[in-house]
Amino acid sequence: MNWLFRYANPHNFMRLSNVLLPITVVATVLCLGVGLYLGFTAPPDYQQGRTVLIMFIHVPAVTVAELAYGAIVVCSLLSIVWRHPLSDIAGRAAAPLGAMFTVLGMITGALWGRPMWGTFWAWDPRLTSFLLLLFLYIGYMALWNAIEDEVRAARAAAMLALVGAVNIPIIKFSVEWWSSLHQGESIVSGKLAPVFLAPLLIMMLGYALLFASLWMLRIRTVILERRARSLMQRSAA
């Protein structure tokens, strides 16, 4: 755990992110560019036709939305148990990004569901639990903004995030646990044709790198804002 707390120092994090951020940005552009090219030049699916192209936008968005919430859960655990100094900043910075990917996943899912299911929305277990994820993001951000004392706000938001973590396995296994319109897992099981699998995996990596880049950028912004506020207070004093 020593290496983790080494970068709890904002100065050390800023130095590390100075190196990592340009790398993740370039890797993001390359992955998304290659993934989109391979995906949109793939042949039509025998059942879904060209509608299958939505998969390359929808599936990575859903995956990263869950990944972002997992990151908030880890940050909340570090904050409550180990009082990690940077965890509250990191958790708060990840929430708007996770909400953004969740909304993107819901919109693209609706566009995919209309031609496949005949409706933009159904109270399907997967869709309902994913909607709950959006509410968890909104609740987490609302707690941060509703409580003036940052220490109390961080503790309340962290507790909500940890309680809401039970929704992640529900999203994952809802298709198996209940009757669902949503298709089951098709990547690990090998059901997805290689011509679609390769660009999908590249797009998922690109989305993950995009999240990592934006996350680091947001954390850096918060640190710089706090430094600027501290300098202004010293000047005023």
Q: What is the pLDDT of residues 172-196, one digit of tens each?
A: 888 777 777 777 667 766 678 888 8
Mean pLDDT of 19-36: 96
Look at residue 1 in the predicted model and tell me its pLDDT.
54
Check: CB of residue 85 under 8 Å from CB of residue 11: no
Q: Which residue has the higher pLDDT, 208 or 122?
A: 208
Window from 6-15, 26-35, 123-132 with minimum mean pLDDT: 6-15
Neighbours of 121 (CB within 10 A): 14
Residue 167 has pLDDT above 80, yes or no: yes
Residue 68 has pLDDT above 60, yes or no: yes
Window from 31-45, 179-193, 208-222 with minimum mean pLDDT: 179-193
Mean pLDDT of 93-119: 91
Look at residue 237 in the predicted model and tell me its pLDDT.
66
Look at residue 174 in the predicted model and tell me its pLDDT.
82
Check: CB of residue 87 under 8 Å from CB of residue 76: yes
Q: What's the mean pLDDT when you consider all of the chain?
A: 88
Q: Which of 40, 35, 58, 65 is CA-nearest to residue 183? A: 58
pTM for this structure? 0.90
Q: Which residue has the higher pLDDT, 11 or 103?
A: 103
- In angstroms, the CA 178 to CA 190 distance is 22
DSSP H helical ranges for 83-237: 87-117, 125-146, 150-164, 167-177, 194-236
Mean pLDDT of 111-133: 86
